[in-house]
Structure 1
Amino acid sequence: MTWLITGGAGYIGAHVARVMAGAGENVVVLDDISSGVPQRLPDDIPLVRGSSLDGELLRRVLAEHEVTGVVHLAARKQVGESVAEPLRYYRENVGGLTTLLEAVAEAGVRRFVFSSSAAVYGNPPEADLVTEVTPCAPVSPYGETKLAGEWLVRAAGRAHGISTVCLRYFNVAGAASPELADTGVFNVIPMVFDRLTRGEAPRIFGADHPTPDGTCVRDYIHVADLAEAHLAAARRLAEDGIDGDLTVNIGRGEGVSVRELVTLIGEVTGDARTPLVGPARAGDAPRAVADAGLAAKELGWTARRGVREMVESAWDGWLLHHPEAARG
């Protein structure tokens, strides 16, 4: 069978494409290269440049490559940007998914893996772990589009006989190799790297949360583990099948506070500046840590890599793309 990976030249998508191809799966990538980098993909993975909003292109790709399953990662994903541009986020994230599912249903494709997010939970109620039955109450347009996407995937699956898996990612970090590292400065680890590279102290938003050290506690997942979760989901759909739909958390099930993370970054980089503490940001949950037991049960998947490995691999990638950091 052949898997279409949308957004497969992006930071997460390229990891997924490489892991699936390396495991012997036939893959083809669709990416509009708005944030993707073609050089992340090896030459033997076909890359089609285009958008999931282009229904005619999607139908042609599905037919020409005889696609039998889809892994859909293409989406805009910045929370702050989604607040400023909600119409764009709904158009691209929900509209693109709608167009893709229309083409998938028409082509008779019966396997679909959807890239969702822990952002669907919003500010979860205080609990040690977030489970898949924790109420969903997103606090940003980005999170809303991911929850709407899940609803749409499940509804289309029921209507058209498509088996579906929705993967709710927690905080993704690290890199399988330096050239695949996250080149954006939107997530906490590269944000700290960026400030250290500019000779500035890291920032912490809020130190009075009801957590052991007062800073937010999060669940960080290595992008290589996340890629392996996609392979596990794809193989479950292809080999064992599922009865309808499945939604699972993808995390490590272990919380790390922002202060602990900043301390670890200082150890790895050799630049242990005292962080600046500012006011908490609106909507920041004090604690969001996954219960990943369902993924282990249903997909046979568990995370294998720790937070230090995430930071070390991310730093190697940062140095490759920002050589001035080594001189700092």
Structure 2
Amino acid sequence: MAVESTDLIDRRSVVKMVVGFAVAAVFVYFLGRVVGWSEILAALGRADPRWVVVGCLATCGYLLAWTKTWQVVLDAGGIRVGYRRLVPTYLAATFANYTTPFGQAGGEPFIAYVLAADTDASYEESLASVSTADLLNLLPFFTFAGLGLAALAVTGTVPPGARSILAGLAAIAIGIPGLVYAAWRRRDLVTRLLMGVVGPVAARIDRIEAAAVRARIDGFYDHVARIADEPRDLAVGLVFSYLGWACFAAPLYFAGLALGFTISPLLVVFLVPASSLAGAVPTPGGLGAVSTALVALLVALTPMGAGSAAAVALLYRAMSYVFALLVAGPTALYVTARV
């Protein structure tokens, strides 16, 4: 199935991407202005390249592990895709997530489209598999954040300035699973709400058929149920989800070592999900905002000064985000041409 690349990346998406990176550049610029670019650059100039390489390898590890999570979930839903074939597809989805504001919402439809084009699966089956894999990846997020919170609570090192972040993590930990459970248990209500929006639109636009939309919603729920009936496969997928999250957090630890700091692993597993909350801002991959949040947390929870904390944060993001973009970018072009 071949489509023009402009179907996947239209002009509006490109404009949003450019604006998002411009906003992110402003974040990074003012971070450097406040902390002091000379101090940050001097610290980065002393970075041990060996630990930087190890951090980049950890980034490759999370990309490969989460690809395996997706493959296991796809297999549970009856979609057979070879691992080697799925790797570039997952990297393309990662590129879509990391380059568009609120990218996670755009990445899932993109990868579902590519999977549907690459396999015999329908779009609804692909989207259900992708959504389930993403939900599995949320469990390590909560687990690692919980471990870090527990460690901070035991040591009594939670500063007042970090309490809003703790509240945000707690709200996500309770709210997202609650919403997912409610959406699953009240399938009829969700369907009625969606059709209440689609119905009036379909009445005015000939290209949208309410019956077809209803069939797609039902197909999505049916495929999620099919995946849920394979608990063994889901358990295997969860193992790779945890492995991926460990690799995702590891570059922060290695960034510290590269600059001469040893950050406690328990603190690392708190800092990564806590700073990820800043990814909700409308910049690609939370660029700029995540670094700023991480600097504030490092200064509050470690003996680091602002300059050292900023250097660690920027090096971490270079290894875990920028390097991932460099790996995934060419692959995204390849996948776009392939489908």
TM-score (normalizing by structure 2): 0.27
Bigger strand fraction: 1
Q: Higher relative contact order by CA 8 Å / sep ≥ 6: 1 or 2?
A: 2
TM-score (normalizing by structure 1): 0.28
Greater C-alpha Rg: 2
